[in-house]
């Protein structure tokens, strides 16, 4: 999954939702420059936690999906996250829950100062390409929204609300639960590799999964929002996953304790996703779209796909510059000292495990 990603509204972050503070025993916030071992440290910790038999949630970086922005060991209440831009994170309960880990203690500052001009130019280049990527994403989202928005008759909101309440009466147990609230993340993101979608892997342990089918926009997110409210009000931890193209919209709701979920089916998740049942929501449009609307949708998808590809290419160029930026930092690092510190950090984290 992703805690943040590039969207038509700019970079959107849900890093504060990686591990709710009420569930957290220890949150390690890593600070440091590019190429200074932040992701490598998290991967090392993840391997050790897995070797010890703990489930690990991986938070991927949308600028480079092979890298990590964070990880969570849910049953232990432990999280690690990259606290640097564009998702700057600072301690909420310093010392009590949060602890800062700083990789910058192992770099040669004078060596970096000598590359000041190159570092500044690289940063400006990355920012410029992401500004262009956001413009392309905004245009692509606008085109698709214009073609898929509900027609003049609008949406049967009362009917959708009734359907959501009926679903919850049938599937949500009556007895109240004691959860910690709502968690918001992204199951997919636009990256330099194109659309990367973790929906199938996120749902592999969910026993009852309902797919929401709809040719027009607006309907699934209304149903999902109502289901999420009902589940949360009943006291269940509820995970909401937002759309990278329309970040204010919910495209998936998961209720872990009930092993239940609801997902809006789309072109990106359809091929790899198996659902327990499907619900067709097209009947909740008050008036059907005219036949020529289907032609408009096809043209809009073709145009939005081209704009999306242009956004991806801008991200590819940004990543190329970021790789060059890392090459300025790597030679300035004391790798032996960094490796020894990483090993000590893993041992420190083990002490926070149950029975540690």
The pLDDT tens digits for 54-107 are 999 999 999 999 999 999 999 999 999 999 988 888 999 999 999 999 999 999
* 162 and 280 housed in the same domain: yes
Tokens for 38, please give them: 């932040």
Is 263 domain-assigned?
yes
Q: Is 129 in contact with 349 (CB distance < 8 Å)?
A: no
Is 202 domain-assigned?
yes
* 262 and 168 housed in the same domain: yes
* 158 and 272 housed in the same domain: yes
Is 136 domain-assigned?
no
* 278 and 156 housed in the same domain: yes
Tokens for 335, please give them: 């790798």
Q: What confidence score (pLDDT) does residue 180 get?
A: 65
Radius of gyration of the chain (CA): 22
Q: What confidence score (pLDDT) does residue 291 get?
A: 47
* 53 and 167 housed in the same domain: no
Domain containing 167 equals 152-284
* 166 and 259 housed in the same domain: yes
Q: Domain boundary at 260, 284, 308, which?
A: 284
* 217 and 270 housed in the same domain: yes
Starting at the earlier edge strand, list the strands of the sheet with 208-213.
Answer: 182-186, 238-242, 250-255, 260-264, 208-213, 277-280
Tally of domains within the chain = 2
* 262 and 156 housed in the same domain: yes
Query: The whole model's pTM is what?
Result: 0.90
Give Cβ neighbours of residue 269 (< 8 Å, ≥ 6 apart).
187, 188, 197, 199, 200, 263
Cα–Cα distance for residue pair 81/69, rounded to 1 Å: 6
* 190 and 262 housed in the same domain: yes
Q: Is 15 in contact with 84 (CB distance < 8 Å)?
A: no
Tokens for 216, please give them: 């027009």
pLDDT in tens, the chain (356 residues): 999 999 999 999 999 999 988 889 999 999 999 999 999 999 999 999 999 999 999 999 999 999 999 999 999 999 999 999 888 889 999 999 999 999 999 999 999 999 999 999 999 999 999 999 999 999 999 988 876 666 555 778 888 888 888 888 877 766 666 666 889 999 999 999 999 999 988 988 899 999 998 866 667 888 999 999 988 888 888 999 999 989 999 999 999 988 999 999 876 666 677 888 888 887 777 655 544 456 667 788 889 999 999 999 999 999 999 999 999 999 999 999 999 999 999 999 999 998 76
* 188 and 265 housed in the same domain: yes
Q: Domain boundary at 253, 269, 284, which?
A: 284
Is 143 domain-assigned?
no
Is 53 domain-assigned?
yes
Pairing of strands 188-191, 194-197: antiparallel
Is 290 domain-assigned?
no
Is 299 domain-assigned?
no
* 74 and 165 housed in the same domain: no
Burial of 166 (0-12, 13-18, 19+ CB in 10 A): exposed
Cα–Cα distance for residue pair 52/54, rounded to 1 Å: 6
Is 132 domain-assigned?
no
Residue with token string 């997919």: 188
* 183 and 273 housed in the same domain: yes
Tokens for 40, please give them: 């490598």
């Amino acid at each position: 999954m992703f805690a943040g990603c590039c969207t038509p509204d700019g970079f959107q972050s849900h890093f504060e939702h990686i591990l709710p503070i009420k569930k957290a025993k220890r949150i390690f916030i890593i600070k440091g420059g590019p190429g200074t071992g932040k992701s490598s440290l998290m991967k090392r910790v993840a391997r050790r936690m897995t070797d010890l038999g703990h489930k690990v949630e991986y938070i991927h970086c949308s600028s480079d999906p092979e890298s990590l922005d964070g990880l969570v060991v849910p049953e232990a209440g432990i999280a690690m996250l990259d606290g640097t831009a564009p998702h700057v994170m600072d301690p909420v309960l310093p010392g009590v829950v949060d602890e800062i880990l700083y990789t910058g203690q192992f770099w040669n500052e004078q060596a970096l100062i000598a590359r000041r001009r190159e570092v500044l130019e690289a940063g400006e280049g990355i920012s410029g390409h992401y500004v262009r990527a956001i413009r392309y994403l905004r245009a692509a989202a606008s085109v698709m929204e214009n073609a898929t928005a509900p027609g003049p008759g609008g949406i049967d909101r009362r009917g959708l609300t009734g359907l959501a309440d009926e679903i919850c009466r049938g599937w949500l147990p009556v007895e109240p639960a004691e959860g910690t609230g709502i968690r918001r993340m992204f199951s997919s993101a636009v990256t330099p590799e194109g659309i990367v979608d973790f929906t199938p892997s996120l749902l592999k342990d969910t026993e009852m999964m309902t797919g929401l089918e709809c040719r027009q926009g607006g309907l699934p997110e209304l149903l999902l929002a109502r289901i999420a409210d009902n589940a949360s009000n009943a006291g269940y931890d509820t995970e909401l996953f937002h759309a990278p193209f329309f970040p204010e919209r919910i495209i998936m709701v998961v209720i872990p304790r009930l092993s239940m979920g609801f997902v809006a089916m789309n072109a990106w998740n359809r091929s790899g996703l198996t659902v327990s049942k499907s619900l067709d929501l097209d009947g909740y449009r008050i008036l059907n779209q005219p036949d020529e609307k289907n032609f408009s949708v096809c043209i809009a998808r073709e145009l939005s796909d081209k704009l999306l590809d242009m956004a991806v290419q801008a991200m590819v160029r940004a990543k190329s510059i970021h790789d060059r930026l890392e090459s300025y930092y790597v030679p300035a690092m004391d790798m032996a000292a960094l490796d020894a510190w990483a090993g000590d950090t893993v041992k420190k984290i083990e002490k926070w495990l149950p029975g540690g």
